[in-house]
A = this chain, B = another copy of it.
Amino acid sequence: MWQFQALLKMSFAYRYLATVLWAGGALALFPDCVNGPLKNETICNTSASPLERARSLVSLYTLAEKINATGSTSPGVPRLGVPPYQWWSEGLHGIAGPYTNFSDEGEYSYSTSFPQPILMGAAFDDKLITDVATVISMEARAFNNANRTGLDFWTPNINPFRDPRWGRGQETPGEDPYHLSSYVHALIKGLQGDASDPYKRVVATCKHYAGYDIEDWNGNLRYQFDAQISQQDLVEYYLPPFQSCARDSNVGAFMCSYNAVNGVPTCADPYLLQTILREHWGWTNEEQWVTSDCDAIQNVYLPHEWASTREQAVADSLIAGTDIDCGTYMPSHLPGAFAQGLVNTTVIDQALVRQYSSLIRLGWFDSPDRQPYRKLDFSAVATNASQQLAYKAAVEGIVLLKNDGLLPLSLTSSTSLGLFGDWANATTDLLGNYAGVPTYLHSPLWAAQQLNVTVNYARGVGGQGDPTTESWFQIPGAAHASDTIIYIGGINNGVEEEGHDRTSIAWTGAQLDVITWLAALGKPMVVVQMGGGQLDSSPIANNPNISALLWGGYPGQDGGVAIMDILTGKAAPAGRLPQTQYPASYIHEVSMTDMSLRPGANNPGRTYRWYNGTAVFEFGSGLHYTNFTASVTSQLKPSYDISELVSACKTSNTTYLDRCPFSPLHVSVSNTGTTPSDYVTLAYLTGSFGPAPHPKKSLVAYQRLFAIAGGASSTATLNLTLGSLSRVDARGNKVLYPGDYSVLIDNQPLTSVNFTLTGGEAVLDEWPQPPANRTGKGVSGFEGYFVPGFGSEQAVG
């Protein structure tokens, strides 16, 4: 059977308990509120509020039972009939290990495996994301009903993909904070259902809060890295997706991260967990809780040395607002912390009330009769519709970067296709990390072999990023026998992975060697660049003998079919790059530990908003098999008075001024060619308003339009807000500034619209400042152990 990649990748705690908790349902899966010990308690009274019910249950616990419940593998309370519960499930792009138990064969031996978020992000289709997340949560419920997974999923990874080296960038939708904020809103809706639903489908967990995007760069390990981030960058770049989760999307859970931010490990930081998350963003529903990343509580002690003792570390974390410890550190050391008077029952009760309120909202205590989700079985898993959605997600994300007219390929029965590269026959590589067991795995080679053409295959290069040729012997025969050359390669999880950041963003010499040798044959040739992080494809883009270049990410179980369908014109490409493709030299120009977005002495700037060099391919790049024009049909006023805009919002009782609508933009998009095609409408804001330096442009809205026929038009509605127009000042305040504004449609752009804001500046969101004194407590006796950030302390360049 397929291997659980996540299980292999993650050497986290407690794997051994998986068998205890999910082994064939030997233990009760749900509390019995009909006949169990709790039947007459308020916890079982569905008329009571979740808060009342949770408080009632927690009041029945002894202190020891409460402490036991602070770990992710919660043992339950047998005397009360509360069964064990495993908080940790994964569902990044389909349900996955380590605590999802696929059977060896038959029912529950597979599920739907979607593309990695980085490719789904490239679709710029929020509806797609909701649909995908809905399938994942439905399949999760079916597996949960069979006692094969939990109800709480530690997805999404919504840290912006700041640096192309990050090994886990593949798990995110890309580099742009607006894009991520919109994407995650759609995702949470799909996973959890509507906030008004009587029961949540599953609980999503926004991770890793915050500033987590380094695995191990030059000795800077994620477990001990202290990210130095300005308030401006925090609000402008690192936090918007999390604000979207907490304030705007009612997400059920947050995960604090391994790293520290500005000196404080995030899981022990009341500024991040209480002041920002709960108070400023209003994330105060009792059913919302924070888990640590796995063993991040331990890291508060070692290697962060924030807390001077184990007991102080667990007390600090619990008091700061971490309600669940992924691990056993908190339940192991809270007894000592209580004994030392470092923590009291009010705090632990608060954590447990949050936990159980959440489980109540998932229907854990309620009769299955009233819960449709509890009736789902394997017939809800891997349905035809789900399979088709996985295919659709792959097609929508694939990005066409170069095409001299060769694509789409014209095939006849006498066509001879040559497939080369270590991705040409990719199977598990298609999935990327945190994958479960897919329904099937269709490689590009398999997909080509379904066509009525001759297929010649030679892998040609080593796998897993190994820069060696596989066998030159096989290449010439396959190449000479082919009319058309397709090279599919790039990187995979051997190069970018959890725990390892990349040390190069160039194609390997072996791959370029094979590619250029093939190109020198002068035959029609296509290169498909795979993997999550971008590679510098300029040698391919600049090679006149290579007609076309696509980026395919990690396209999932049907990825090979999606690629071949686009190459052959059965589907038309409309994805857009969700990240900047930097030149290979970029990684030598800035330390990965430099968290600044703006250019500086040793930093050329990060993301399309600030990078002051020339990208190989820009964020938002993406060609089509046709051409489009666009025009803005809505009438904007030439100017708006800031005080009028703000007072109108206040009049309409808008809680958050930055969410208050500005005039929507209607953009009419026309397909001037003949090939029907989707089109992603990207709206960028640009102008010299607000504090210098100014970003080159900023994505403020997007909408994917579908299947616009040749000669036909379709209209995108781009809902701008006052926040769309705002800038962030040095203190992190969101401010509307007077000045001249332009909205550009698409990268070229196809059209634009201008307006002016007049009057005085207005603060839309006043950012709470961090406390002045945030120094660590230090741990004596470990001076020789602590490893300071190597790259962060030296000049780079």
Please report A residues at the B interface, Cβ cutoff 8 Å.
Answer: 11-14, 16, 216, 218-221, 223-224, 294-295, 298-299, 301-303, 310, 327-329, 331-333, 462-464, 466-473, 475-476, 494, 499-500, 503-504, 506-510, 512-513, 516-517, 536, 538-539, 542, 583-585, 587-588, 781-782, 784-785, 787-788, 790-791, 794-797
Contacts A539-B782, A782-B539: A466 and B12 contacting too (C-beta < 8 A)? Answer: yes
- Determine the chain B residues whose CB is within 8 A of the CB of A216 once the complex forms: 503
- Determine the chain B residues whose CB is within 8 A of the CB of A509 once the complex forms: 223-224, 298-299, 301-303, 785
Q: Which of A12, A328, A467 has the most CB of B within 10 A?
A: A467
Contacts A13-B471, A328-B473: A781 and B219 contacting too (C-beta < 8 A)? Answer: no
Q: What's the least CB distance linking A481 to chain B, in Å?
A: 16
Q: Are A328 and B469 in contact (CB under 8 A)?
A: yes
Q: Are A512 and B788 in contact (CB under 8 A)?
A: no
- Determine the chain B residues whose CB is within 8 A of the CB of A473 once the complex forms: 328, 331-332
Q: Are B517 and A472 in contact (CB under 8 A)?
A: no
State in angstroms the CA–CA spacing of A310 and B298 once bound together.
53
- Determine the chain B residues whose CB is within 8 A of the CB of A587 once the complex forms: 219, 790
State in angstroms the CA–CA spacing of A301 and B220 once bound together.
33
Q: Can you list 30 residue pairs at the A/B interface with Cβ under 8 Å?
A: A11-B463, A11-B464, A11-B468, A12-B462, A12-B466, A12-B468, A13-B471, A14-B470, A16-B471, A218-B503, A219-B587, A224-B509, A295-B462, A295-B468, A299-B509, A301-B513, A302-B510, A303-B508, A327-B469, A328-B473, A331-B473, A332-B472, A333-B472, A500-B500, A506-B784, A539-B782, A539-B784, A588-B787, A588-B788, A795-B795
Q: Is the interface of A mostly helix, strand, loop or mixed?
A: loop
Chain B residue nearest to A333 in the complex (CB): B472
Chain B residue nearest to A75 in the complex (CB): B473
- Determine the chain B residues whose CB is within 8 A of the CB of A791 once the complex forms: 218
Q: Are A466 and B329 in contact (CB under 8 A)?
A: no
Shortest 8 CB-CB distances between A and B: which pairs? A302-B509, A332-B472, A295-B468, A303-B509, A219-B503, A11-B466, A328-B472, A11-B462
Q: What's the least CB distance linking A672 to chain B, in Å?
A: 34
Q: What's the least CB distance linking A76 to chain B, in Å?
A: 15
Q: Among the listed B302, B468, B512, which residue makes an inter-chain contact with A782, where contact means beta carbons less than 8 Å apart?
A: B512
Q: Are B328 and A787 in contact (CB under 8 A)?
A: no
Q: Among the listed B221, B295, B329, B585, which residue makes an inter-chain contact with A503, where contact means beta carbons less than 8 Å apart?
A: B221
Contacts A302-B513, A476-B332: A785 and B469 contacting too (C-beta < 8 A)? Answer: no
- Determine the chain B residues whose CB is within 8 A of the CB of A539 once the complex forms: 781-782, 784-785
Q: Are A467 and B223 in contact (CB under 8 A)?
A: yes
- Determine the chain B residues whose CB is within 8 A of the CB of A472 once the complex forms: 327-329, 331-333
Chain B residue nearest to A788 in the complex (CB): B588
Chain B residue nearest to A165 in the complex (CB): B219
Q: Are A785 and B223 in contact (CB under 8 A)?
A: no
State in angstroms the CA–CA spacing of A787 and B462 once bound together.
20
State in angstroms the CA–CA spacing of A518 and B329 once bound together.
15
- Determine the chain B residues whose CB is within 8 A of the CB of A303 once the complex forms: 467, 508-509
Q: Are A302 and B512 in contact (CB under 8 A)?
A: yes
Q: Are B13 and A507 in contact (CB under 8 A)?
A: no
Q: What's the least CB distance linking A588 to chain B, in Å?
A: 5
Q: Which of A11, A329, A539 has the most CB of B within 10 A?
A: A11
Q: What's the least CB distance linking A491 to chain B, in Å?
A: 13
- Determine the chain B residues whose CB is within 8 A of the CB of A302 once the complex forms: 509-510, 512-513
Per assembly, the copies of the chain total 2
Q: What's the least CB distance linking A391 to chain B, in Å?
A: 30
- Determine the chain B residues whose CB is within 8 A of the CB of A301 once the complex forms: 509, 513
Q: What's the least CB distance linking A489 to chain B, in Å?
A: 14
Contacts A216-B503, A473-B332, A539-B782: A13 and B468 contacting too (C-beta < 8 A)? Answer: yes
Q: What's the least CB distance linking A574 to chain B, in Å?
A: 28
- Determine the chain B residues whose CB is within 8 A of the CB of A513 once the complex forms: 298, 301-302, 310
Q: What's the least CB distance linking A738 to chain B, in Å?
A: 43
- Determine the chain B residues whose CB is within 8 A of the CB of A328 once the complex forms: 469, 471-473
Q: Which of A494, A517, A794 has the most CB of B within 10 A?
A: A794
- Determine the chain B residues whose CB is within 8 A of the CB of A476 once the complex forms: 332
State in angstroms the CA–CA spacing of A294 and B470 once bound together.
10
Q: Are B785 and A517 in contact (CB under 8 A)?
A: no
State in angstroms the CA–CA spacing of A303 and B476 once bound together.
22
- Determine the chain B residues whose CB is within 8 A of the CB of A299 once the complex forms: 467, 509
Q: Which of A310, A475, A588 has the most CB of B within 10 A?
A: A588
* Sample of 13 further A-B pairs with CB below 8 A, known A13-B469, A299-B509, A539-B785: A11-B466, A13-B470, A218-B791, A219-B587, A221-B504, A310-B513, A328-B469, A329-B469, A331-B472, A539-B782, A584-B785, A587-B790, A794-B797
- Determine the chain B residues whose CB is within 8 A of the CB of A500 once the complex forms: 500
Q: What's the least CB distance linking A546 to chain B, in Å?
A: 12
Chain B residue nearest to A224 in the complex (CB): B509
Q: Are A467 and B221 in contact (CB under 8 A)?
A: yes
Q: What's the least CB distance linking A265 to chain B, in Å?
A: 12
State in angstroms the CA–CA spacing of A508 and B328 once bound together.
17
Q: Are A784 and B329 in contact (CB under 8 A)?
A: no
State in angstroms the CA–CA spacing of A470 and B476 once bound together.
51
Chain B residue nearest to A494 in the complex (CB): B11
- Determine the chain B residues whose CB is within 8 A of the CB of A795 once the complex forms: 794-795
Q: Which of A329, A506, A517 has the most CB of B within 10 A?
A: A506
State in angstroms the CA–CA spacing of A16 and B473 once bound together.
12
State in angstroms the CA–CA spacing of A605 and B173 once bound together.
46
State in angstroms the CA–CA spacing of A94 and B781 once bound together.
42
State in angstroms the CA–CA spacing of A333 and B539 once bound together.
22
State in angstroms the CA–CA spacing of A299 and B513 once bound together.
10
Q: What's the least CB distance linking A286 to chain B, in Å?
A: 28
Q: Which of A475, A587, A784, A791 has the most CB of B within 10 A?
A: A784
State in angstroms the CA–CA spacing of A516 and B781 once bound together.
10
Chain B residue nearest to A14 in the complex (CB): B471
- Determine the chain B residues whose CB is within 8 A of the CB of A16 once the complex forms: 471
- Determine the chain B residues whose CB is within 8 A of the CB of A797 once the complex forms: 794
- Determine the chain B residues whose CB is within 8 A of the CB of A471 once the complex forms: 13-14, 16, 328
Chain B residue nearest to A10 in the complex (CB): B466
- Determine the chain B residues whose CB is within 8 A of the CB of A584 once the complex forms: 784-785, 787
Q: Are B298 and A510 in contact (CB under 8 A)?
A: yes
- Determine the chain B residues whose CB is within 8 A of the CB of A510 once the complex forms: 295, 298, 302
Q: What's the least CB distance linking A554 to chain B, in Å?
A: 19
Q: What's the least CB distance linking A793 to chain B, in Å?
A: 8
